[in-house]
Amino acid sequence: MPLPSSVQYGSGRLPIDDSFSISISGFQEPRLQRAAARGTATLARETGLPLHAVAQNAAKGTLVLHADHGSEEVQQVGEDESYDLIVTAAGATLNAANPLGILRGLQTFLQLVELTPTGFSAPAMTIHDQPRFPWRGLMIDVSRHWMPLDVIKRNLDGMEAVKINVFHWHLSDNQGFRIESKQFPLLQELGSDGHFYTQDEVKAVLAYARDRGIRVIPEFDLPGHSSSFFVGYPELASAPGPYSIERQYGVFDPAIDPTKESTYQFLDGFIGEMAALFPDPYFHIGGDEVDGKAWDANPQIQAFLHAHGMKNNADLQAYFNQRLLEIVSRHHKTMLGWDEILAPDLPKSIVIQSWRGSDSLADAARKGFHGLLSYGFYLDLYQSAAFHYAIEALSGKAATLSGEEKKMILGGEACMWSELVTPENVDSRIWPRMAAIAERLWSPQNTRDVRSMYARMESESQRLEWIGLQHRS
């Protein structure tokens, strides 16, 4: 799980005993060595076998990994993740163009190992596999409830296990600002209750994720959902302070002042600092649920709005987004935001993340915008795996898109908003249902058998325990 694109069963089984080893031929890099060691360690925990480190002789491994060449220095959208896995009674080979394919195929091999009356073994088969969508993500909100590093890392392990390739890190909201800024230190000193990631810790997470073939995209929500910015820097806000971190949940009135040049000077410095820290080409600016009350109550903002021929707050937010896009682009990033940022005059380079449905995603695609689906993948709503499994990015209006328009839909992201979760129970809200969403985004569109999904998800749920997740305990 996710179900591969093509599976052909052979005859016989490959025994998995204490002589099992993994070897690497072809392209060599430390990341492949670490992946092989990680896979061996997982298999040892599952089976209880005293398995050893990676075999030194490339020809001697029970499982031989072969990548033709390296991956991009910074992982890219659409980079090749395909692989071919051949298992016979005598041994197994895993071939891919680059290490990303090896990482995906290694997880498939680990899923094949099972206990039989004669011991552990994997069935003989040939698998050709590649993802349906290039963007398969999980967003974790660490603002409303703080999530320590060990929680983030073990969920990255789970993401690797089910071939999720994007970690969307929601780092600021009304309830907390969760990352160290060296340029604007009052952001974390006054806006975090002392719970934030240092830049060194962020770099460690980035390296951890890259080892697992996972891109990391930061989100800083603007112009609404921004109270934690104002605790340390009230001059950014549309209404006078003082401000404090919100202790409740919902949509709040405070919003950044989009009319001051000093606002954009601050954001240029802040975004420049964060863009240098996060190597991924994409930068998420939020943009959702701005109620406009703070703008309505400010005479200077209303005067600015009328002086510039704007009809309403939607026009004002579009102006803010345009200015923000200029800053994000200047720092060599592509802007990503929720549905609300979509405006006709924005360049087609931005990416729309739709939480309102596949129809709005289709509308964005017809207008020439790339998009992601999150509607139906909100894990915090605690809906069934079958509900999530039935969501399809190319349904509704999207089903009528042309072939080229369908390519504008890059994939989707599950969302774990943290109003009602803590580090103790967040795993149980994400897993194992995340595996069903992962399959919807990876496997062929006609993969629809709910009973099969539940049976395989139960097996995967047990395996995720061996990886270190705590959703069952």
Whole-structure pTM value: 0.97
**424-457 confidence digits (pLDDT tens):** 999 999 999 999 999 999 999 999 999 999 999 9
pLDDT of residue 53: 66
| Amino acid letter, residue 418 | S
**51-72 confidence digits (pLDDT tens):** 976 776 777 899 999 999 999 9
Q: What is the DSSP string of 258-273?
A: TT-HHHHHHHHHHHHH
Give catalytic residue positions.
Answer: 289
Contact of 328 with 314, CB cutoff 8 Å: no
For Cα atoms 442, 43, 21, give the angle at the middle one, nearest 5 degrees. Answer: 105
Contact of 326 with 363, CB cutoff 8 Å: no
**326-376 confidence digits (pLDDT tens):** 999 999 999 999 987 877 778 888 999 998 778 889 989 999 999 999 999
Closest residue by Cα to residue 211 from 165, 170, 267, 246? 165
| Interval 206-215 mean pLDDT | 98
SS3 375: coil
Q: Which residues, listed in sequence order, are joined to residue 138 by a DSSP beta bridge?
A: 167, 414
Q: Peptide bond preceding 242: is omega within 30 degrees of 0, i.e. cis?
A: yes
* Angstrom distance (rounded) from CA 111 to CA 108: 5
